Amino acid sequence: MSLKTRVGLFGGTFNPLHDAHLLVADKALEQFALGEVVFIPSGIPPHKEVENGVSKEDRYEMVKRAIAPYRNFSVSRIEIDREGPSYTIDTIRAMREIHPQGICFIVGADLLLQIETWKEPKALLASVPFILAPRDGISCEAFSASPFALAEIHFIDMEEVNLSSTWVRRQVKHGEVFEEWVPPQVATYIGKHNLYRDIQLTEIRQTR
């Protein structure tokens, strides 16, 4: 099945959005001739906690500012504004109505391997085509067995993605360089709002 002109939904916590997220979106857009990529920051992630002091609005704003220069990128508030946990299957059902030209879902290979922990995994796998970003140590063969027979899966032709938001947060927390791995708009927002930083470390540096 051709994905041409479909809308690629790129869901994630984006805590924070980093350069690899933009690269994945750009490669997916180009290689599969998508009409658009819509970033969907999760409101309340069902599988992970978000650091205190970093609100869903912070994460939304970082994505919004980072993608502003990209003509075919946009960001949706559908999960930010939804009450309760952000379940992908609910988002896909809603976005299918908004985008009658067709949708697909962009996700890291490591996350899709955890599909059976997601809400309604079988329905989700059968609902839309998936575009996978390669992750370290995960081969295409990992998706040849159950339950992935239900899914239409496409792989982005790119180097394995090893950069993570966890690593970026750790760099910021310990006062290490992180700006090289995030868009400048994100780095500016983190600095302005003092996100992810070790408060004690920040206070010590300010007294020197």
| Each residue's pLDDT tens digit, 44-82 | 887 666 766 799 999 999 999 999 999 999 999 999 999
pLDDT tens digits, one per residue of 102-160: 999 999 999 999 999 999 999 999 999 999 999 988 999 999 988 998 899 999 999 99
Q: Is residue 138 part of a domain?
A: yes
Is 179 a member of any domain? no
Note whether residue 202 is domain-resident. Answer: no
Query: What is the pLDDT confidence band of residue 208, given thresholds at 50, 70 and 90?
Result: very low
CATH for 74: 3.40.50.620
pLDDT tens column, 25-34: 999 999 999 9
In a domain, 171, yes or no: no
**pLDDT score for 46:** 77
Question: What is the domain extent for residue 14?
Answer: 7-160
| Structural domains of the chain, count | 1
Instruction: Quote the CA–CA distance of 200 and 190 in Å, as a whole number.
Output: 17
Residue 174 lies in a domain: no
**Helical residues (DSSP H) of 71-145, grouped into ranges:** 88-98, 109-112, 121-127
Indicate whether 81 belongs to any domain.
yes
Best CA proximity match to 167, nearest among 44, 66, 21, 9: 21
Q: Distance between CA 14 and CA 6 in Å, rounded?
A: 22
- What integer pLDDT is reported at residue 32 of this predicted model? 98
